[in-house]
Amino acid sequence: MNMDMFERQAEEQKMQEAPLAVRMRPANLHDFIGQGHLVGEGRVLRKAIESGRVPSVVLWGPPGSGKTTLANVIANTTDSHFSPVSAVTAGVAELRRIIDEAKDRRKLYRQRTILFIDEIHRFNKSQQDVILPFVEDGTVTLIGATTENPSFEVTSPLLSRCQVITLNSLIEDELRVIIMRALRDKLKGLGALNAEISSEALGHLITMSKGDARIALNALEMAAVNTTPGAHGKRSISLETIEDAMQHPALRYDKDGDQHYDLISALHKSMRGSDPDAALYWLARMLESGEDPLYVARRLVRFASEDVGMADPQALVVAMAAQQAVHFIGMPEGNLALAEAVVYLATAPKSNSLYTAYSRIQKEIRQSYDDSVPLHLRNPVTPLMKDLGYGNGYKYAHDYPGHFVEQKNLPDGLQGRRYYSPSDQGYERQVNERLKRWWREREKPDEGPGE
């Protein structure tokens, strides 16, 4: 069962010819970058790995977040045999062979086998059923990797025997560490090429990788190999070379500087001005420059309440749906969900009456924070409260004609205040008419509850 000399030489040759992202794959937890919520010091998964008692798991996360790498780390740390397969190419016969070898390995060497299935969501039911009993009895420890929601793609019996672990896209600082490590590593990385990268090129590489370490490293390798050494043998990777390697020009954009605030302001004001073309343009400028799509989604949610408000209450629903769509399918596919929301918001009737009303109330509260709740609005949950007058005189609106009755609902010192003044736009026109009708009712004498 041990690897002979020729197999080892072939494996070493294969590794030398592998892409940089494969060569730089860490073998232990110490070198693993990212996913601190899972493998940081003191985390449950880290403790399980270090103790060698890792259950079958499904790793769910975006491309390049470290699913395959984490599976390798688990196998190395637990001294397990690693049997990787791709759900795209593996069939039932290959699965049965791996299971038979796992049985022999367990019997002869008392060594556990980790069956790693990449893109497990592509396995059909019969393929998943083949491994089910052997996952259950411990013949193999299953580690599945998927970019799709396992609740939809993995059968319930198999999923019930696995723990689902969610990985996140790598953040910029984590990508920077991975890139710089690859540049310096002379054994597995690009250190022998004596390459360096400009700050502009590094920033563009990180931004356009969108949290995917595989994209970042493969583009870095292409750029480094195709950079001509200078007079002192150093390869200086420029912004232009990274642009060429990634086939994406660098747009002038600083997510932490003035450009960030200028563009989101332009998007907001274009929507407020009911200009869908300009709004779409500014949206695309931000997304194509690498802006966090969920940041944009949060701003759209705010706009739906601040600038559309009650003129079209559906606007908030659309904005939240766009946020959920981006969170669910990611980028770049999520760009159209945001575009749909932007066009909806730009073309919706506008009203800032909610914003104005809430601002008035904020000011009122700062000036009269201690105003008490009127007694008739308080719930008399104890006999003492009832004796003190809690709930006394409260009028139950549903007992009155039109389900409306005039009564004092503000503190005594604020009676007569009107904070919310609806506009005549969209749905808010109906709200305005309804409120005017109720205000007229307030001027009539109290007729008492209806029958």
CA gap 196, 205 in Å, rounded? 13
* Residues 92 and 52 both lie in one domain: yes
What are the tokens at 424? 């005549």
pLDDT band of residue 283 (cuts 50, 70, 90) is very high
* Residues 145 and 221 both lie in one domain: no
* Residues 155 and 226 both lie in one domain: no
What CATH number is given to the structural domain containing 271? 1.20.272.10
Q: Tell me what the mean pLDDT of segment 413-424 comes to.
A: 82
C-alpha of 49 from chain center: 26
Domain boundary (166, 186, 217) is at 166
Q: Cα separations (Å) of 284 from 277, 342, 350?
A: 11, 11, 23
CA gap 272, 295 in Å, rounded? 18
Q: Where are the alpha helices (DSSP H) in 275-398?
A: 276-288, 293-303, 314-329, 335-347, 353-367, 383-387
Q: Which of 342, 298, 346 minimizes the C-alpha distance to 323? A: 298
DSSP structural state of residue 193: G
Residue 449, in any domain of the structure: no
Residue 437, in any domain of the structure: yes
* Residues 279 and 212 both lie in one domain: no
Which structural domain range is residue 162 located in?
34-166
DSSP helix/strand/coil, 25: coil
Domain boundary (150, 166, 182) is at 166
Residue 295, in any domain of the structure: yes
Helix then strand count (H, E) for the chain reads 21, 7
Question: pLDDT tens across 289-330, in order?
Answer: 778 899 999 999 999 999 999 999 999 999 999 999 998 888
Residue 5, in any domain of the structure: no
Q: Tell me what the mean pLDDT of segment 343-349 comes to.
A: 94
Residue 386, in any domain of the structure: yes
DSSP helix/strand/coil, 440: helix
Residue 3, in any domain of the structure: no
Asked if 140 and 131 count as a contact pair (C-beta separation under 8 A), the reply is yes
* Residues 281 and 160 both lie in one domain: no
Which stretches does DSSP call E strand in 4-112? Answer: 57-60, 81-86
What CATH number is given to the structural domain containing 201? 1.10.8.60
What total number of domains does the chain contain?
Answer: 4
* Residues 372 and 420 both lie in one domain: yes
Does residue 78 surpass a pLDDT of 90?
yes
Q: Cα separations (Å) of 329 from 148, 324, 341?
A: 9, 9, 16
Q: Is the overall model pTM greater than 0.75, yes or no?
A: no
Residue 447, in any domain of the structure: no
* Residues 341 and 316 both lie in one domain: yes
* Residues 184 and 159 both lie in one domain: no
Question: pLDDT tens across 226-280, in order?
Answer: 999 988 889 999 999 998 888 765 555 555 556 778 889 999 999 999 999 999 9
Asked if 104 and 93 count as a contact pair (C-beta separation under 8 A), the reply is no
Position 1 scores a pLDDT of: 44
Position 9 scores a pLDDT of: 64
Domain boundary (246, 278, 305) is at 246
What CATH number is given to the structural domain containing 101? 3.40.50.300
Q: Which of 294, 269, 149 minimizes the C-alpha distance to 211? A: 294
Residue the block writes with tokens 């790498």: 69
* Residues 224 and 272 both lie in one domain: no
* Residues 41 and 131 both lie in one domain: yes
* Residues 185 and 269 both lie in one domain: no
Asked if 345 and 306 count as a contact pair (C-beta separation under 8 A), the reply is no
* Residues 211 and 268 both lie in one domain: no
What CATH number is given to the structural domain containing 394? 1.10.3710.10
DSSP structural state of residue 253: -
Residue 14, in any domain of the structure: no
